[in-house]
């Protein structure tokens, strides 16, 4: 066994929380569960720790990180909240919503974490273990999804281990996550903007705002300079196997990512079949999405054929991740 390739995994509990907080204080990297996906945490005020985090993920340094904090009060120390932002925070925190806001003068989040932008992305996670770690540590924790850059996001500790073992200091295992897609990101600009669809459906946010969210400009989706949401990198969520969307039949040797109970011509010749939700439950489909993409990616199929998923509610986030997966890497 190669010790350099292993990272300790602790089951969620008091000891793991204390070890995680200690590790963060020492500038270490800790993977922990949030309700959306597993995050890879570092002390948001420690530029060396953040540099190691970018290195461990192989992430382009211009892609800024989300600062995770325990509550709205902590968030207001690092960013300016107007009435709209407060309404969103009160409606959805703790939970799968990230707000992009202008930094305060005293904001201690390192420039390296915000990629030099004068805005900062903030979220208050709902997962009890994430909350315990934030409380024990006592400061903002930056945490991108705990996967290698370009891979699909991890929804179990085993996914984290398969991407990052030996590259990070600790993994806290809290079992499978509940939501399964990353947080929704809203830019709190003059006109609030949907920077990334995610765990809170657009409609629920628009109901609180009393207005429609605007779309980012088209060129924000390109891998250039400083786009509005650099995480919109077209190739962000790609498995290695090609992904074919809106399949209405299966070609021999393809794997099927199904949705619903409809019949699929050619399914008998499929290399593997997994169903995101047989009874068309979009929340169940979101929770299964990344795990099933990983599992089918490991089957050596010639492609992963994906049945259409309806676009309402959480379907917008699911279809966004599937579209990125289909674009492939590079």
Residue 112 binds which one of ligand TXA, Mg ion, none, with CB within 5 to 8 A depending on kind? none
> What three-state secondary structure class fits 162?
helix
Q: Does 145 bind Mg ion (CB under 5 A)?
A: yes
Site string for Mg ion, 64-103 (x = CB under 5 A): ----------------------------------------
The DSSP 8-state label assigned to residue 106 in this structure reads T
Identity of the residue, 193 or 257, whose beta carbon is nearer to ligand TXA in the bound complex: 193
Residue 143 binds which one of ligand TXA, Mg ion, none, with CB within 5 to 8 A depending on kind? ligand TXA
Q: Is there a contact between 248 and 236 (Cβ–Cβ < 8 Å)? A: no
Angle at 164 between CA 173 and CA 177, to 5 degrees: 35
Segment 142-161, which members bind ligand TXA (CB under 6 A)? Answer: 143-145
Q: Is there a contact between 121 and 66 (Cβ–Cβ < 8 Å)? A: yes
Residue 63 binds which one of Mg ion, ligand TXA, none, with CB within 5 to 8 A depending on kind? ligand TXA
Identity of the residue, 145 or 288, whose beta carbon is nearer to Mg ion in the bound complex: 145
Identity of the residue, 231 or 315, whose beta carbon is nearer to ligand TXA in the bound complex: 231
Q: How far is the CB of 63 from Mg ion (least distance, A)?
A: 9
SS3 content of the chain, % helix, strand, coil (to 5): 35, 20, 50
The DSSP 8-state label assigned to residue 3 in this structure reads G
Residue 185 binds which one of ligand TXA, Mg ion, none, with CB within 5 to 8 A depending on kind? ligand TXA
Could you tell me which residues are beta bridge partners of residue 100?
A: 121, 187
Residue 205 binds which one of ligand TXA, Mg ion, none, with CB within 5 to 8 A depending on kind? none
189 vs 79: CA distance, rounded Å: 13
The DSSP 8-state label assigned to residue 103 in this structure reads B
Using CB under 5 A as the criterion, which residues of the chain lie in contact with Mg ion when the complex forms? 145
């Amino acid at each position: 066994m190669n010790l350099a390739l292993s990272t300790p995994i602790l089951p969620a509990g008091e000891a793991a929380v204390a070890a995680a907080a200690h590790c963060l204080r020492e500038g270490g990297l800790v993977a922990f569960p949030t309700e959306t996906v597993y995050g890879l945490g570092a002390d948001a005020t420690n530029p060396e720790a953040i540099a190691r985090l970018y290195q461990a993920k192989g992430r382009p340094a211009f892609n800024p990180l989300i600062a995770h904090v325990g509550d709205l009060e902590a968030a207001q120390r690092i960013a300016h909240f107007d009435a709209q932002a407060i309404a969103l925070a009160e409606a959805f925190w703790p939970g799968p919503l990230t707000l992009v806001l202008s930094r305060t003068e005293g904001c201690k989040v390192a420039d390296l974490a915000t990629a030099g932008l004068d805005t900062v992305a903030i979220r208050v996670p709902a997962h009890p273990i994430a909350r315990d770690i934030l409380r024990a540590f006592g400061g903002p924790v930056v945490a991108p999804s705990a996967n290698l850059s370009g891979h699909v996001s991890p929804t179990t500790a085993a996914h984290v281990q398969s991407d990052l073992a030996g590259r990070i200091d600790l993994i806290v295992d809290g079992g499978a996550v509940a939501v399964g897609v990353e947080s929704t990101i809203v830019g709190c600009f003059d006109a609030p903007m949907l920077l990334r669809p995610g765990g809170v459906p657009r409609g629920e946010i628009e109901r609180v705002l009393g207005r429609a969210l605007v779309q980012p400009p088209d060129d924000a989706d390109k891998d250039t300079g400083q786009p509005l949401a650099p995480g919109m990198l077209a190739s962000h969520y790609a498995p290695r196997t090609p992904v074919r969307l809106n399949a209405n039949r299966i070609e021999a040797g393809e794997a099927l990512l199904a949705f619903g109970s409809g019949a699929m011509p050619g399914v008998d010749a499929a290399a593997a079949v997994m169903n995101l939700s047989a009874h068309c439950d979009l929340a169940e489909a979101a929770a299964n999405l990344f795990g099933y993409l990983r599992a089918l990616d490991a089957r050596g199929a010639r492609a992963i054929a994906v049945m259409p998923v309806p676009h309402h509610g959480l379907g917008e986030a699911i279809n966004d991740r599937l579209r990125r997966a289909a674009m492939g890497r590079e």
